[in-house]
Amino acid sequence: METLISVEHLYRYYGATCAVRDVNFELRKGQVLGFLGPNGAGKSTTMQILSGNLAPSAGRVMINGIDLLDQPKRAKAELGYLPEQPPLYRELTVDEYLWFCARLNRIPRQRRTAAVATAKQRCGLSEVGARLIGNLSKGYQQRVGIAQAIIHTPKVVILDEPTVGLDPIQIREIRNLIRELGQEHGIILSTHILPEVQAICTDVQIIHQGTLVFADSIAGLDARMHGTHLLVGLRQPPALSELQALPGVDSVETLDDGRLRVGYSIDHNPAEALAAHAAMHGWGLYELSPERMSLEQIFVELTCKEPGAATHEAAA
């Protein structure tokens, strides 16, 4: 698969504060990369650097194999960017604005009409083409912002919190659009809505205090979320020691609602044995489920660690 973005040793200082510290990652075609982090973690800074709005203090950004700092014009032709606040000229109509964006992105004259029409159709803007952007609702403005980012069918689309301020129906539509775009483009999107990442992304990265603390695919994340505990509901529970004696069981505790929480070693899942014993001894098994860590738990675990590692170095 072709690598669309590669970021190497990216640093960004604001004065003495280090906003982004040694960030490395790659984005390949067909990936939708979710960028997570608490407020002020460096998400937007990283995205601004990737889109050429901000110069990194050190490091290298390659967009589709072209160095963003050496050949900004060629590299920028391959990317579409939607900042946190969509960059809209409120006094223009949607058509005029998209037409301007098409020209700005050097779409040849004969393909411009088609490009504008496609972008409008994909973002559900066909009805509002003649309306002033300033008079549109927030959701529609957001869509115009997305249309602007994809009008020149760039290889890479960078979306900074694309679903903020939208109603639930619009959020679903935008998510579908992003999923659809993800098939032909590489997409990076930042958000702090965790279920959104699980719903649309193929990969996740968590950034905390400027450093990447977690990077994995959604499949890898799923595996990680499987804990080492089973939740067991029994109508006639035996003595805890009896359960403890089952092969693989490390610990048993009773939860407040009467269910049992069974801990086991990672490579020895006692679920089958437990079910067999329950049936044999008539324990009255009514629930047997793996306890899952939510993405939220992982997020909190990673981002609420001691901030001891954060040292303030002066810009090189």
Partner 1 sequence: MIFTIAARELKSLFLSPLAWAILAVVQLILAYIFLVSVDQFLEVQPRLVGMADAPGVTDIIAAPLFGTAAVVLLLVAPLLTMRLVSEEHRNRTLSLLLSAPVSMTEIILGKYLGILLFLLVMLGMLALMPLSLLVGGSLDFGKLGAGLLGLGLLLAAFAAAGLFMSTLTTQPTVAAISTFGLLLLLWIIDWTSGARAEVSGILSYMSLTRHYEPMLKGMINSVDIAYYLLFIITFLVLSVRRLDAERLQH
Least Å from the CB of residue 118 to partner 1 = 18
27-86 residues near partner 1, rule: CB under 8 A: 48, 51-55, 72-74, 76-77, 79-81, 83-85
Choice between 64 and 303, CB closer to partner 1? 64
Choice between 148 and 205, CB closer to partner 1? 148
- If one asks whether residue 282 binds partner 1 (CB under 8 A), the answer comes out as no
Q: Total number of residues binding partner 1 (CB under 8 A)?
A: 35
Least Å from the CB of residue 243 to partner 1 = 59
From candidates 2, 9, 14, 310, binder to partner 1 by CB under 8 A:
14
x/- letters, 78..107, toward partner 1 (CB under 8 A): -xxx-xxx-xxxxxx---x---xx-xxxx-
Choice between 100 and 291, CB closer to partner 1? 100
Least Å from the CB of residue 156 to partner 1 = 11
SS (H, E, C) the chain: CCEEEEEEEEEEEECCEEEEEEEEEEEECCCEEEEECCCCCCHHHHHHHHCCCCCCCEEEEEECCEECCCCHHHHHCCEEEECCCCCCCCCCEHHHHHHHHHHHCCCCHHHHHHHHHHHHHHCCCHHHCCCEHHHCCHHHHHHHHHHHHHCCCCCEEEEECCCCCCCHHHHHHHHHHHHHHHHHCEEEEECCCHHHHHHHCCEEEEEECCEEEEEEEHHHHHHHHEEEEEEEEECCCCCHHHHHCCCCEEEEEECCCCCEEEEECCCCCCHHHHHHHHHHHCCCEEEEEEEECCHHHHHHHHHCCCHHHCCCCCCC
x/- letters, 133..152, toward partner 1 (CB under 8 A): ---------------x----
Interface ranges with partner 1 (CB under 8 A): 13-15, 48, 51-55, 72-74, 76-77, 79-81, 83-85, 87-92, 96, 100-101, 103-106, 148, 315
